[in-house]
Amino acid sequence: MMSDAAALERLYAYPATDRPWVRSNFVSTLDGAAAGTDGRSGTLGGDADTRVFALLRSLADVIIVGAGTARDEGYADFDVDSELRARLGLAPVPAMVLVSHTLDIPGALIAPGNVVVTAANADPSRVAALRETVEVLVTGDEEIDWPAVLATLADRGWTRILCEGGPTLHGELIRLDLVDELCLTVAPILTGGNAPRIARGHEGVDRPMALGHAIEADGGLLTRWVRARS
Ligand SMILES: NC(=O)c1ccc[n+]([C@@H]2O[C@H](COP(=O)([O-])OP(=O)(O)OC[C@H]3O[C@@H](n4cnc5c(N)ncnc54)[C@H](OP(=O)(O)O)[C@@H]3O)[C@@H](O)[C@H]2O)c1
């Protein structure tokens, strides 16, 4: 049963903390696929997932997304709930932070206000070209220094972090134990095939999570899991 708007806002409120809180948001099939047969995730979620996806964006200071997902999912402009953001004292729109080594960023996202995060070994000419339009944050020599990125965002008051993936970026944040919360829609679908899971990387780690809530919707589940830190 889907909750009303006020109840959903309470269920997905960020905790009151002045440190960065990293929430990731994914949809997965019952057999663990993070993409449908079209190679995208949007086709997996129903109306309830779409609604929560939009709410999570509206609650965030910043949306972090891997360039792979931005390319595969055709990221572009998006709408947020202006009334909700004003009521919560948030900026009119969240900042979109794009993560990339190659700096192959979709043209629609090379727009003032967006931020590109990369490492120091990125192509300097591409960095310079992007800097004509967007801010490029360079941290770490060969790999992005995520604690430094989060500290920089927090210095701007951006502590409500929403990571929309994809699996490569998510795997890296999990490896570093930087994911505080996972919002996962479980879609009532079996798909087989060889789609990625919601996280991948070179090495496995154990990061226990505790169930925050599970709501039945569209025949599937909207779940929220919080990192169980001892
Ligand atoms: N089920 C879901 O909710 C969901 C959510 C998101 C995505 N997806 C699906 O996942 C698939 C894409 O998977 P993916 O693993 O390729 O996604 P991804 O993590 O968004 O993309 C990987 C690319 O993003 C950049 N990137 C990610 N982490 C980085 C890091 N730590 N440092 C530097 N660059 C980094 C790199 O871009 P460059 O190549 O530009 O260097 C890398 O090649 C698609 O099928 C998409 O639909 C599903």
36 lines ligand 1 (CB under 6 A): no
Global confidence as pTM: 0.97
199 lines ligand 1 (CB under 6 A): no
* Burial zone of 133 (CB within 10 Å; 0-12 exposed, 13-18 middle, 19+ buried): middle
CA–centroid distance, 72 to ligand 1, in Å, is 9
Q: Which domains does the chain have, with CATH numbers?
A: 19-227 (3.40.430.10)
| Residue pLDDT, tens place only, 177-210 | 999 999 999 999 999 999 999 999 989 999 999 9
What's the pLDDT band for 42 if we cut at 50, 70, 90? Answer: confident
Cis ω before 166 (30° cut-off from 0): yes
CA–centroid distance, 225 to ligand 1, in Å, is 21
User: Cα–Cα distance between 202 and 96 in angstroms, integer?
Assistant: 27
168 lines ligand 1 (CB under 6 A): yes
Question: Can you read off the two tokens belonging to residue 60?
Answer: 């965030």
Q: How far is CA 36 from CA 49, 51, 159, in A?
A: 15, 19, 31
Does the pLDDT value for residue 114 go beyond 90? yes
| Residue pLDDT, tens place only, 81-99 | 999 999 999 999 999 999 9
